Structure 1
Amino acid sequence: MNKKMLKLGFVVLLVLSTNVHQLTAQHKEYYPDPDTAIQRRLEEWKDLKFGLLMHWGTYSQWGIVESWSICPEDLGWATGARKKGVADNYVDYVKAYEKLQTTFNPVKFNPEKWAAAAKNAGMKYMVFTTKHHDGFTMFDSKFTDYKITDKATPFSSNPRSNITKEVFNAFRKENMWIGAYFSKPDWHTDYYWWKQFPQSDRNPSYSVQKYPEQWKKFIDFTHNQINELVSDYGKVDILWLDGGWVRKKTEEEIKTEMFEVYEGSRWARNPQSQDINMPELVKKVRAKQPKLIVVDRAVPGEQQNYLTPEQHIPEKGLPYPWETCMTMANSWSYVPNDQYKSTNELIEKLVDIVSKGGNYLLNIGPSPEGEFDPVAYDRLKEIGVWMKLNGQAIYGTRNYKLFGEGDNIRFTQSKDGKTLNIFLFNYPQGNVRIKNVSFNANSTVKLIGSNQKLKWKAGGEGVDISLPASLKAVTDHVWVLQVQL
């Protein structure tokens, strides 16, 4: 075999092994937190089912993707999202982006309105972006001037300028769990993108190994900001850490990434270990927030208490705590005239996720003035109507022995296994056949929203349930049969 063929074979083997590893990691690489109190807390979190995620920062003024337009990588979805006509080169573009701080003034900011809409929609927890990758801090941090409360930001003169505190308080008053999104990478601080060197990708602009003192400053900076969030903002239930490339890596992992860079198949040109001492960080934050769930996204280990598939629903669910985070519209951040998913699609996704044992974290990006799009409010209101009727089949349930049948039937069950919920995405004409469920002789079936007992008959091919056409009017979306087994 010649050298060219040998090299090609190695590349193919590497790609295949990498894909297998990623697939394995997605489905199997989970390490339960050994703290039984956290395990119990996760069971409580699994009861909540439905939450709200909010991406908000200075970037909302341009109506572009959050943070990523200043990433120097040649990624079509990042460079293509840059605001047109701002600058002719990358350096001037970043300067203009950071100058957005001087015009950010969301005078219509009303977190109580957000919280009320989320509660009425049936949401039980929230996650708010306290800081995204661009480093702009939406709380009054003592460790940066690039923040909402700095005098360079017009909104700093507003009595509600500490936006994170106001958001947390508003949602807490609605008895919702509080989640703090925090980006581990920070593309503004000199401790990460050190101005001694030009940045080449999303990673530090310098060698962490060669300049450990500079990296130590970044570790302290990160720990200090997170300490502020768990010390000064009341009870926090979830610490939701993003930027999974900031993590400890083995020498073998770094070598693999370097080879992929050489072959041109990897976006990062500067792969290296970025250890911020997560075990110590978690120990410190839980000293102040003992039941805090920590989600170190995409980093296998005990600090990733649950996994977070992004913008997709696992085909058959996952065998450990998980949450699909997904946009209500197309973008995570505010984009004018964005296209929102229909109410029916949102409800069906919620049911699909819950039937597979997951939670649904649905994102809305507030406008530069501090408002949700009117369409988002409409969707939340309509979801709330459905949840008020059918929430009993969602909250506090667990997945059944199978999540569903075909594309249009899903199941959940009560924790004691005595109640089975059957979700019908389409209302049947006359009878519906459930093939893989066994009823007891005394089982009763009702459609939620009606007191009428439904007739059913067991046969060799399953159970046939008779549904009168008149009951279709009970709801406009997914219909739920409740079976007492």
Structure 2
Amino acid sequence: MSNEEILQAEQVGQTEEAADEVHNGVHNYSSEEEWVKPSDPLLLERLEWFKDQKLGIMMHWGPYSQLGVVESWALSDEDGDWSRDGIDWGVDSEELKRQYFGLNKTFNPVRLQPELWADLAAEGGFKYFILTTKHHDGFCMWDTATTDYKITGPDTPFHTHKYADICKNLFDAFRDKGLAIAAYFSKADWHTPTYWAPDMERGNDMWRGPSYDPKQHPELWEQFVQFTHEQMMELLSKYGRIDVLWLDAGWVRDGGRVPQDIRLGELVDRARQTQPWLLSADRTVGGPYENYVTPEQSIPHKPLSVPWESCITLGTSFSFRYEDKYKTLRQVVRILLEVVSKGGNLALNVGPQPDGRLPEGAIATIKELGAWMNVYGDSVYGTRICAPYYTSEFAFTQKEGIVYAFRLYEEDRMAVPSEITIPYMEQVSAIELIHTGEKLRFERTDDGLRVAMPLSEQAEQAPAAHVFRLLP
């Protein structure tokens, strides 16, 4: 096959893969039919543990945070039409890549305080922590031996700081607060010369896949596979207990027009020899190493019968954006309850600032969420789905025979009615308002359970939700 034919095949492949895997940086998610139930009893037990957690905090952080633009994607010429919207300093594609890859030389988050991050996450009610150890740009947030393009590299000014090994210090701090650890890792690496290799078929016109056909250059591809395995095994053997290996870049897979088999099964099986509890989330790939599926910036229309997690931003983007706007408590509670009532977990993403602090707007909402979860967490954590699941006004969960009904309010200044009809048709013996413990008067109607609201609740401003405990 000629170089031109190889390039054409790649372009066809990347077009098909783009439609399936990712659009404008937002990933699709696998269907329920693609999910493979693990046979290992321990992994089944860990999936039940995962479904109990409900709320994780996710952080996209790296040198790109200095620019306030989307993480990594501006490097891909094929994705430039949407990812370079915020890049307005008038440079061509090659100069843009040089400037981007040089951001490590100015990344110096000296105001990082891992314990404060962990304290906030615990206060916010989060149960696990997902950190971008490496995004597609290839910059490593741990002290890897595989490359100098890392937070502890000699060109990165932060390398002399006491918290220089960011993964280690953040993982340790969050574990100390009782949070589980998920290591986000991009299987693609646009910095390493064994993936985006110079002087190959593509020339300087890059896409999200390799710059060459792995079948035509198996020796180069094998170098990349070994490089990737070594990086992942560092994280899975030297950084304490890892509960989830959270893998991005679903186009790196054994399939499609440009197969990119990194022999993931070999790697995960090896890691499970020392961390047998390890869950693997090989996004959008399906099969035995995508233990749960991961909708992004979206929530499925109906409950899913498989374990799943929606990753949704607290602000408008995954990475830090200057003068970003953050969701209110009301918005976050509605998202959380829709996700949970449909059987999923919510991974709420916050993009840290380049100086090492978390944005004040994000902190404010997280603290409010924590106060809300402190009152209503029992109706969220450890629950499972319960018909009628979710409507525009109600969400339902159940645990240990008790059903929880959430009346959601869209507007801040919406008045609380004197009566609320809960669309639940099963028999109940009593209905309690969770935050007061008060038993409420109710009657059964053709539409459900008509509940008389106490006068004290009929305030001018509705809460984020009223939460009812329906006793059998």
TM over 0.5: yes
SS in 1 for 2:139: coil
Tell whether 2:336 aligns with 1:336. no
Cα distance between partner residues in 1 of 2:231 and 2:356 = 24
SS in 2 for 1:299: coil
**1:249-298 deviation digits (Å, cap 9, x = unpaired):** 1xxx42xxxxxxxxxxxxxxxxx000001110111111121100100001
Q: Is the contact made by 2:30 and 2:284 (CA closer than 8 Å) also made in structure 1?
A: no
Look up the match of 1:267: none
Look up the match of 1:477: 464
The 5 Å alignment of 1:266-285 reads: 272-285=258-271
Look up the match of 1:408: 393
1:438 pairs with one of 418, 426, 434: 426
Tell whether 2:423 aligns with 1:420. no
Q: Is the contact made by 1:429 and 1:469 (CA closer than 8 Å) also made in structure 2?
A: no
Superposition TM-score, scaled by structure 1 size? 0.88
Alignment CA distance shift 1:478-1:124 (3 Å): same
The 5 Å alignment of 1:205-244 reads: 205-244=211-250
Q: Is the contact made by 2:442 and 2:452 (CA closer than 8 Å) also made in structure 1?
A: yes
Cα distance between partner residues in 2 of 1:318 and 1:218 = 36
**1:226-267 deviation digits (Å, cap 9, x = unpaired):** 000011111010100000000001xxx42xxxxxxxxxxxxx
Cα distance between partner residues in 1 of 2:363 and 2:457 = 28
Q: Is the contact made by 2:29 and 2:284 (CA closer than 8 Å) also made in structure 1?
A: no
Q: Is the contact made by 1:102 and 1:153 (CA closer than 8 Å) also made in structure 2?
A: yes
Code of the residue aligned with 1:333 in structure 2: it is S
Look up the match of 2:51: 46
Look up the match of 1:184: 187
Q: Is the contact made by 1:450 and 1:471 (CA closer than 8 Å) also made in structure 2?
A: no
SS in 2 for 1:117: helix
Gaps of 5+ in 1: 1-13, 255-271
Look up the match of 1:160: 163
Greater mean alpha carbon deviation, residues 445-454 or residues 42-51: 445-454
Q: Give, in angstroms, the shift of residue 28 of structure 1.
A: 2.6
Look up the match of 1:398: 384
Q: Is the contact made by 1:438 and 1:463 (CA closer than 8 Å) also made in structure 2?
A: no
Look up the match of 1:269: none
Look up the match of 1:76: 81
Q: Give, in angstroms, the shift of residue 207 of structure 1.
A: 1.5
Q: CA RMSD in A?
A: 1.9
Q: Give, in angstroms, the shift of residue 475 of structure 1.
A: 8.1
2:102 pairs with one of 99, 109, 121: 99
Code of the residue aligned with 1:223 in structure 2: it is H
Q: Give, in angstroms, the shift of residue 429 of structure 1.
A: 1.0
SS in 1 for 2:88: coil
Q: Give, in angstroms, the shift of residue 312 of structure 1.
A: 0.5
Code of the residue aligned with 1:408 in structure 2: it is E
1:90 pairs with one of 64, 80, 93: 93
Cα distance between partner residues in 2 of 1:355 and 1:436 = 14
Cα distance between partner residues in 2 of 1:100 and 1:354 = 39
The 5 Å alignment of 1:228-377 reads: 228-249=234-255, 253-254=256-257, 272-377=258-363
Gaps of 5+ in 2: 1-14, 21-26, 410-414
Cα distance between partner residues in 2 of 1:346 and 1:24 = 21
Cα distance between partner residues in 2 of 1:369 and 1:475 = 38
Q: Is the contact made by 2:430 and 2:440 (CA closer than 8 Å) also made in structure 1?
A: yes
Code of the residue aligned with 1:54 in structure 2: it is M
Q: Give, in angstroms, the shift of residue 463 of structure 1.
A: 1.8
Code of the residue aligned with 1:110 in structure 2: it is Q
Code of the residue aligned with 1:456 in structure 2: it is F
Look up the match of 1:380: 366
**Hey, which bits of structure 1, 4+ residues long, moved more than 4 A?**
22-25, 472-475
Look up the match of 1:268: none
Q: Is the contact made by 1:70 and 1:93 (CA closer than 8 Å) also made in structure 2?
A: yes
Look up the match of 1:264: none
Q: Give, in angstroms, the shift of residue 476 of structure 1.
A: 3.2
Q: How many residues align?
A: 441
**1:398-449 deviation digits (Å, cap 9, x = unpaired):** 0103203x311110000x3x20100011374111112342224xx1111011
Q: Give, in angstroms, the shift of residue 341 of structure 1.
A: 1.2
Tell whether 2:40 aligns with 1:35. yes
Look up the match of 2:4: none
Cα distance between partner residues in 2 of 1:475 and 1:161 = 46
Tell whether 2:12 aligns with 1:26. no
2:72 pairs with one of 67, 92, 97: 67
Q: Give, in angstroms, the shift of residue 112 of structure 1.
A: 1.1
Q: Is the contact made by 1:398 and 1:412 (CA closer than 8 Å) also made in structure 2?
A: yes
Look up the match of 1:121: 124
SS in 2 for 1:93: helix
Q: Give, in angstroms, the shift of residue 173 of structure 1.
A: 0.4
Look up the match of 1:6: none
SS in 2 for 1:45: helix
Q: Give, in angstroms, the shift of residue 461 of structure 1.
A: 3.3
Q: Give, in angstroms, the shift of residue 74 of structure 1.
A: 4.6
Alignment CA distance shift 1:109-1:23 (3 Å): closer
Code of the residue aligned with 2:137 in structure 1: it is D
Q: Is the contact made by 1:393 and 1:413 (CA closer than 8 Å) also made in structure 2?
A: yes
